[in-house]
Structure 1
Amino acid sequence: MEAQALEKIIALAHAGQIGNPGTSTPTMLVPEGYKLASLEQYESSPSRFRGAFSSSSLANFAEYVNAEDEARVFVNIDDMDAEAFFDLGTAQAPGHAEHRAVLTLKQTAPYRAALAAHERSYGQKDLAHWIEDWHHCIEGEATSGATLSAKQLANAVRRIEIKASSERTHEDGDWNASRSGLDALDASAGTDTPAFIRFTCLPYEGLKTRTFDLRVSLMTDGDKPKIKLRIMGLEGIQEEMATEFKEVLEAHLEEHATLLLGNFRKG
């Protein structure tokens, strides 16, 4: 008898002596490298529930979590997302953490437009078109304090004129800037010179509507004005939205769900 055939006979004998590996999932030893092969796919039902639900809807995420008997929900307020685990178990009786739900809030189109405008410089025509595109979210305030409709605001941007004067100035305001040691540039649209653009929108589904104040400032580029927008207090507003996200999610979840701040990853 060849040595290779003899080794296979011995291996089969050893496999028969090992017997049931002792797992809760039906398995058996097969000759090919003593590889464990699951028979779960042939059973009438799986040995445990596995799956991941994902959504950008806070209400739907909460509905899914509340349908389970127990859940631990980890909330990441920096990324505006949350992850729920339904089979973590405990340190003494750990679970497989294979059943989970993920919530990722998505920025709405108007909010993305407001963020894209932050710290951006526009030509007159481009800014007027941007205002017209988002007119339903926009109203303005002139330097005089008067309220401007989106249409008035776009027309005021188109009417901005730059005048050069030969005088020394050390000021750099929103609507005047030094071009050289002797020349100064001033921009004006008359009494309707824009000072602020107020952009009102729903930033994320499930959170409240907010108004973002964009300060309007002049940047000079030769004889053509560039108009820069900047959202005032953006970081503070984003922190408020993160806190609101946690509070709203907590209000949607029922008592059997435990909410924690942070992330969880299997070791």
Structure 2
Amino acid sequence: MENIELIQKTAVEAAGMRLLTADGRSSASAVILEQQEHLKSLEWLQPGRDRYRGTLKTTSIDDFASYVQIVSSSSPAVGFVDIANMASTVFFNLGTVNDPGHGDWLATLTMQRTAAFEALHKIDGVKCEQKALTDWLEDWSDFLVADFAEGDATLARAVAALRKLKISTKAEATSNVGDFNASRSALEDVEASSADLLPIGFRLATEPYEGLSTRIFALRLSVLTGGEKPLLVLRWQRKEAALEAIAREFKSVLAEKIGSGVPLTIGTFSP
């Protein structure tokens, strides 16, 4: 082992390559240390870097597009759109197949749900007691409209009807007797009702993400009567279709804001 280390050291000394210089610089950018001949960068001692690199991270589609436009005017850029996670990455020094770059100068965009859209995700399919759901409806009343089977009514009336919701049980027994057999059956009918007209659902209108258009999301109301207390469930109707439409709009809006100078590809890329 000592002989190998001696040969390495002698070879480096003989070649005069203990100090290494980056392309385009007159001063050394790295040094080969004598101990185990490790390479150590000297960039931190220089007035400037060997090359520009860094990462911008933002949740604002407008700021992301503005930065990409400014930088791509002098550095060729290529972008990727991850529609499943509502995110995008643009590389400014990825280079080409014939002239590859380091790919360590980039900008990333991660879209964040608006508060109302996040609330929609959290309430979807959750079994709520009366107070929990009526509190949620009142908290987001600025974004909600109540739907009724017959006629129109206010959201306040819908909340009042849900507060007065009760469960009633009706039992019925039948008995049949013959010469050689007898049968008996019992039926129990459980019904949820209110002193006022119950809504059949709600509509929530909001921007799903900042910079995208406002959409209306339908919520179907169900009442579960299996327990001592009624449980209320709001089910987001056509959820998958809505998410697909939002993803398509995201790519379209992003391409429009960035401009045609930066090609966008659906997917992710790791250099």
For the aligned pair, the TM-score class normalised by the smaller chain equals: 0.7 to 0.9
- C-alpha distance in 2, partners of 1:23/1:260? 33
- Which SS does the other structure have where 1:214 is aligned? strand
- C-alpha distance in 2, partners of 1:10/1:158? 86
Deviation at 1:95, TM superposition (A): 0.2
> TM-score of the superposition, structure 2-length normalised?
0.85
Partner AA of 1:57 in structure 2: S
Deviation at 1:251, TM superposition (A): 0.4
Of 205, 220, 227, which residue of structure 1 is paired with 2:225? 220
Contact 1:202–1:208 (Cα < 8 Å) also in 2: yes
Q: How many residues align?
A: 251
- C-alpha distance in 1, partners of 2:6/2:87? 56
Instruction: List alignment gaps of at least 5 residues for structure 1.
Output: 169-179
Identify the residue that residue 175 of structure 1 maps to in structure 2.
Answer: none
Aligned-residue sequence identity (percent) comes to 32
Identify the residue that residue 200 of structure 2 maps to in structure 1.
Answer: 195
- C-alpha distance in 2, partners of 1:110/1:7? 67
Of 183, 200, 206, which residue of structure 1 is paired with 2:211? 206
Contact 1:142–1:194 (Cα < 8 Å) also in 2: yes
Of 243, 246, 251, which residue of structure 1 is paired with 2:256? 251
Residue 48 to residue 221, structure 1, CA distance change in 2 (3 Å): same
Deviation at 1:222, TM superposition (A): 3.1
- C-alpha distance in 2, partners of 1:155/1:248? 41
- C-alpha distance in 2, partners of 1:194/1:132? 15
Contact 2:192–2:225 (Cα < 8 Å) also in 1: no
- C-alpha distance in 2, partners of 1:61/1:152? 44
Question: Residues 50-129 of structure 1 correspond to what in structure 2 (within 5 A)?
Answer: 50-69=53-72, 70-129=76-135
- Which SS does the other structure have where 1:146 is aligned? coil
Deviation at 1:188, TM superposition (A): 2.1
Identify the residue that residue 11 of structure 2 maps to in structure 1.
Answer: 14
Deviation at 1:166, TM superposition (A): 2.8
- 10-19 or 83-92, which moves further after superposition? 10-19
Residue 8 to residue 265, structure 1, CA distance change in 2 (3 Å): closer
- C-alpha distance in 1, partners of 2:248/2:4? 66
Deviation at 1:27, TM superposition (A): 2.2
Identify the residue that residue 29 of structure 1 maps to in structure 2.
Answer: 32
- C-alpha distance in 1, partners of 2:131/2:5? 82
- C-alpha distance in 1, partners of 2:264/2:87? 13
Residue 6 to residue 99, structure 1, CA distance change in 2 (3 Å): closer
Question: Residues 128-143 of structure 1 correspond to what in structure 2 (within 5 A)?
Answer: 128-143=134-149
- C-alpha distance in 2, partners of 1:29/1:162? 81
Instruction: List alignment gaps of at least 5 residues for structure 2.
Output: 174-184
Residue 234 to residue 181, structure 1, CA distance change in 2 (3 Å): farther
- 227-236 or 186-195, which moves further after superposition? 186-195
- 180-189 or 20-29, which moves further after superposition? 20-29
Contact 1:160–1:188 (Cα < 8 Å) also in 2: yes
Deviation at 1:125, TM superposition (A): 1.5
Partner AA of 1:74 in structure 2: F
Deviations along 1:39-92, one digit per CA (max 9) or x if unpaired, are: 222222111111000000000000111111321110010110001100011111
Residue 6 to residue 227, structure 1, CA distance change in 2 (3 Å): closer
Residue 93 to residue 10, structure 1, CA distance change in 2 (3 Å): closer
> TM-score of the superposition, structure 1-length normalised?
0.86
Identify the residue that residue 241 of structure 1 maps to in structure 2.
Answer: 246
Partner AA of 1:30 in structure 2: L
